Amino acid sequence: MNVPIVTRYAAAAALALQLGCSACGGGGQSLTQAAPTPTDEAAAPVTIKLTLGGQEKSVALSALPRQDYKGTSVVTLGAVWDSGALGDRASLDFDFEGDDGFRPSTKDRCKTPIHGAELDKGYLVPETRTIVWDDALGKPGCYAVRFVAKIIATKASKDAGAD
């Protein structure tokens, strides 16, 4: 059966929207994304892995202080990193990885790493593990990673944080 090409593209676009494709890289940031469907693992604490060099640590988000950002309960990325005690974030750059393997650094508009000084203006919604950045930073949508599994730190480049 011949299906018009426009119909095929419309169907693919609708499917991508339903799946919440974090790798699509477009669009802005959303605090209202639905939480993952509960499973038998739902009773386990929500954790994020932190890595620096060969070190790795898991952090339970429920143990971190929350604050309100635009009517949503969040934790700062600074608090997440600091709780792992892996290194001074002032001398580090950061990338993030979703459950699906998506990393902002793979997108042209998000190749510049996040400097440690910016982590206090980045927020994580614990229930969805979605990152949202303070509007004042003007971060493109590809930095708003959904279902974050890992925060990856590297030594900061020489000119990091110098804007």
Per-residue pLDDT in tens (0 to 9) along the chain, 163 residues = 554 544 444 444 333 333 344 444 444 555 554 444 445 545 567 999 999 999 999 999 999 999 999 999 999 999 999 999 998 999 999 999 999 999 999 999 999 999 999 999 999 999 999 999 999 999 999 999 999 999 999 998 765 444 4
User: Is 137 domain-assigned?
Assistant: yes
Backbone dihedral angles phi then psi of residue 80, each to the nearest 5 degrees: -60, -50
Specify the 3-state DSSP secondary structure of 75: strand
**How many structural domains does the chain have?**
1
- Domain assignment of residue 161, yes or no: no
* Degrees, nearest 5: CA angle 129-131-137: 170
- Tens digits of residue pLDDT in 118-150: 999 999 999 999 999 999 999 999 999 999 999
Residue pair 59/80 in contact (Cβ under 8 Å)? The answer is: yes
Site of tokens 């693919």: 12
Residue 160 belongs to some domain of the structure: no
Considering the domain boundaries, does residue 163 fall inside one?
no
Residue 115 to residue 155: CA distance in whole angstroms = 10
Q: Please give the Cα distance from 133 to 144 (Å, whole number).
A: 7
Examine residue 140 and state whether it is found in any structural domain, yes or no: yes
Asked, for residue 86, whether it belongs to a domain, the answer is yes
The domain of 88 spans 5-155
Residue 146 within a domain: yes
Task: Decide if 141 is inside a domain.
Answer: yes
Q: How far apart are CA 156 and CA 117, in angstroms?
A: 11
Q: Any idea what DSSP says for residue 64?
A: S
- Helix, strand, coil percentages in the chain from 3-state DSSP, rounded to 5: 35, 30, 40
